[in-house]
Structures are given as C-alpha cells and as structure tokens.
Amino acid sequence: MSADLRLSDHEKALYSRQMRLPGVGEAGQLRLREAKVLLLGAGGLGSPVGLYLAAAGVGLIGIADPDKVEVSNLHRQIIHGFDTLGLPKTVSAAESLGEINPGLKVALHPEGFTVENAAELVSRYDVVIDGTDNFATRFLAADACVLGRRPLVHGSVLRGTGQVGVFLPGAGCYRCLYPVIPDAASVPTCADAGVFGATCGVIGSWMASEAIAVVLGRRRQSRLCVVDVEAGSSRPLAILPDPACPCCGASATIRTLDKTAYAPVVCAPPSPVMSATPLEISVEEASRLLAGPNPPVLLDVREPDEYAVCRIEGSRLIPMNTVPTRLAEIPADAWVLVQCHHGGRSMRVTQFLRSKGFARVTNLQGGIDAWSLKVDPKVPRY
C-alpha cells in the first residue's frame, strides 16, 4: 500500500474511535477520505450534515446554496453565526467546516443547484445530499441523481417531524414515492408553521449517518424513515422500484432535465376541489364533521398495536407503511381525514395521498392524543 493510500498518524488519532466500529477500520476511513459529497443547502439540515461529515473525515464536500446568512437562520442553522451575517452561506459554511477539519477540501457553488448546472454537478460527486426547502429543487435533485446514477440522501422537516430518505440507483427513487411535484401551497413551510432547531439537528444528523453508510457501502436498498421527534418515534418505509415511475420506470418520461418541468417554489394554482379542502383541521372541527349527515372517512395510519390500545369510533386502520400498497382501499371521491398518534405520521400520509391524486385529504391536527384531551376523555392516552 503506497503512502498516499494510508492514514497518517494524525488521522489515525483523530478518527480512532470511529475506526473501531465494525466495518470501518482503516479501509473504511480511507473510503471516507476519498469520498466526494455534494451538499444541497447550508441551512437547518445542511448545517449538522456538513459538520458531521467534516468531522467524520469526508475528503471533499461541495456546498450549493445561493442564499446569504440572515438573523432568522441562526436558531437552527448552527453552521453560521452572528459574525457571518450577510455573508454567502457557502462562504460561512466553509469557514466553519475548516475549523472542524482543516484538511477538508470544500468546493463552493454559490449559484445554487439549478437546472442548468444540476447534471454537471451531480456527475462530479459520489453522493448527493438534499437539505433544500422547496419542491422544485427537491425533485430536480431526485431526477438528476436518477439520470446520473448517483445515490441521494434526502431530508425534510416540518414542525416537530421530519423524514430521512436514501434512494439508491436502480433501487427505487424519490418519484416512486412522490411521482408529481405537489402544489407548494398544499404544504406549509417552516416559515409558516415553525420548526424547532433541535428537530433540524436530529434529522440532519440522521442524514449524515446515512450518507456515511452509503459511502461505506452499507446500504443495499432505498428507504424512507418518517420521524416524529415530539413523540419520540420513527417509522421505516421500504421503497421499491415502481414500474410506472415517471423517472426510473420502464417507460420513464423524464429523460432529460427540462427547465419547464421544475416550477419555482410557487406552483400552479390548485384545482377548486383541492383549494376547498384544508390541509389540516382541529380535532374539534373533525368531531363536528364526523357527527354530521355526510361524515368524512377517518383513516387511522398507526400500527395495529396502537390501534388495539385506543381508537376513534368508525376509523379505518391502514398503517402508514402499508398505504402505498393499499391505495385501492381509500376512496378517491370522498373527504378523507388522516389520523395518527400526534399528527406527524398522518401529515406525511396526507402529503403522499395528495401527490397520488387524492384531492380531498386532510390531516387531523394533534392526532388521537388531542382527540382524547379535547373531544373524548374516555379514549385512553398512551
């Protein structure tokens, strides 16, 4: 083994605790040192991702983000500080990462990730990590990774919940789960709904762990984990290739990155049915509707053991991880209320069903726990 394919004494000391892990060792640490990772977004998710990848010894991190550091960023975007207010996020992030690991190489892409540069950027890196906060860039990253045959690590947050996805070439992509770009107005942003900085830390750290696992060759299938930080729970979803997927399916229609296919953050106006259906309603409003002459369908997406503990009368149980294979059981022409324990899982299912063309789907805010507290105290809490 030549000298440049060995770790220095300094590197062995720096990564000694990590190298003791099964499957890492010097060979794994060298793989990390040789890895080139593209980070899309140096914000709430990109901050912990970048810091932990730098600390883990990834050799080259590219950062694509066109924004500048603002005061409202600092409660969750921990890679930045008051001393970097007004600086491009790429520059601010690079300074912080250099403090973590002076040997790290950082490539700055202050133009961001765009249709014009997506294919070229993806081709230059081994793994792409998407921590962006808008649908257009999220779907652009997903499609570019399929076309460029690069693994994608995805993350998103909303309030106290989040999701972490790993999409491997040929093993199921983001569009196998979400085939069409949803209307931006159908899902609230963190600016509208709020978010805990620590939630970004949980999801971002998880994303970094998945990226490291991909580099070390530990991932063999695509998957999505839905995380409810407030409830202290996570639910895995296995992602299988969809033969009808518009990007990776047998008759895929997405074969190039066409600028017209990736709308800005503001999408086309929703249909009258969709706009008349709220994304989320309170348990009090749900109780009134369920007691009315034409009650909506109440879909419970918890697990069977949870359903055995307590349930809302008249609800139908379809656990979240089985929803993609049981769409035929969900009426497309009825108003569907989706309910879980606290509202995190049900919000994800609500978004998924809307992306699949179910226009009249609404999340039950607070889930069955809020129902017990505000509507029916006879329903047990857990």
Residues with a catalytic annotation lie at 190, 340
Given its phi and psi angles, is residue 69 left (phi above 0), alpha (psi -120 to 50 degrees) or beta?
Answer: beta
**Location of structure tokens 């290739």:** 241
Dig out the tokens for 256 from the structure: 């190039």
Reading across the β-sheet that carries 152-158, which strands appear in turn? 105-109, 60-64, 36-40, 127-130, 152-158, 161-167, 223-228, 233-238
Dig out the tokens for 258 from the structure: 């066409």
Which residue type is seen at 98? Answer: G
How far apart are alpha carbons 110 and 64 in whole angstroms? 6
Measure Cα distances from 328 to 284, 331, 353 in Å: 29, 7, 12
Q: What is the dihedral of CA 137, 138, 140, 146, to 10 degrees?
A: 160
